[in-house]
Structure 1
């Protein structure tokens, strides 16, 4: 084979590999709640998403290195596109990333950006509770979120995290704020999400509580 033909073949191979890599679907990784620091005993969920939708994908998870896959153990579960750590320990802190895998081409998605969080001993500045104390309610029902801390938390606000974004947690016609509490009446599916309360500066926050609002099912 002549030198020019060999060079052209090498160039074609390099371009093809580069193009194949560039065409891999992008992968996003989000943290719920979106806190860089949580406390021992709290729950944190990492959610992986592949460009174009999640149909047909399963997800691979890594901690601190691509050579360190995350496995399911007690209190650490992989369900669909999410990896959930309940009762977090200091050993859970670190850098996490994920990618999608499937049987069709392309076999993999790109590796996501890294998400880092730390786990500290102690407890949050404030405590968020639900009344009634059920994490799952049905549409049309009422639930009250209360934010309590020593010395009062009237200057703290409520936050909600859903669909990958953060928003005010007590701001629509179905919610009313009174002192340290926020009441959601006529709950809708859109009220599902992760809730917490935080100081006016945003530097301090309570524990996070996940609320799920399900549609009522009727049997005859």
Structure 2
């Protein structure tokens, strides 16, 4: 913080004391247990001033954007700490008789979070089931990370984590949810997955109060597939009369509401899960983006739609990972998509508002290698009869020449 931003009383003190001949100590601020804590913990700020010959100080605590002293203790404790306590703090000291004063300490920043944040596959619970399965534990050396060494479709699920610190232990609230989708690698092109979740209208974001259809399209014509969903309230639900109607392998929501936002997938009677899809129901502006991952080399088209405009297409700004990438256009087209285009996309209209963010995934195409292998194999098989005949003819010719030479030598 610049000197001009400090409270007036500190400015006056600094100006008066700038000409003092004694060495001016500088306080050091510490925060326990850490500068980044979670709501509900006990947090202590401490101001330490080391100066020769001074055993007693009067302390003054200041917070960024505050004009007055909020504490005069060497240690100030927040118990429990809340999000409103987050901010930048600094302290100042003066001798009891005001004959000596300290400098102003450096700022320290206190951050208070409501939830643990899961990043880079640091998930620790799978809430795809009615119960939670503990996957990792820091007491077993996992720390804040959880790694799947050999990912398989069975690891598909909605993951969350929770942190614990101190003795007695303090637990954070459950983190934001994270969908992890693991699909099997298809070696040869033309082989279809057992089932696909078909969403109609075909997009991840949907308006409120409209009809939404989700259908499990089975390539093997088998039965027993049902649509299930998971919402942020930790609820795992089958398509039923409560929120939809199931007909065969199709689930229909007659009138969508924001409550319908969640992860949807197809599940078999044996518990196999396929093609989980994030569905967002939003009032107002939405982003029209593909339901399933885009394959490298394909064309990606995004549109910004408004529930109350006719036609619904808006001329809007488009964002990727929070950064503006194209402005004032009715649709954004990305030709020849690559892995670099993966990210969170959204759109914004200056008057109508902003859409939610949708993750767009890009898959690598493996069709080239199998086609080349098949082509080479078929070519070899096609020419092999001719090669065999040629070898036989050459062998016969060689035998005839050898026999002719032997006959000539015998005659001589």
Instruction: Please indicate the TM-score interval, normalised by the length of the shorter structure.
Output: 0.3 to 0.5
Q: TM-score, normalised by structure 1?
A: 0.47
Structure having the larger proportion of residues in helix: 2
Structure number with greater Rg is 2
| TM-score, length-scaled by structure 2 | 0.28
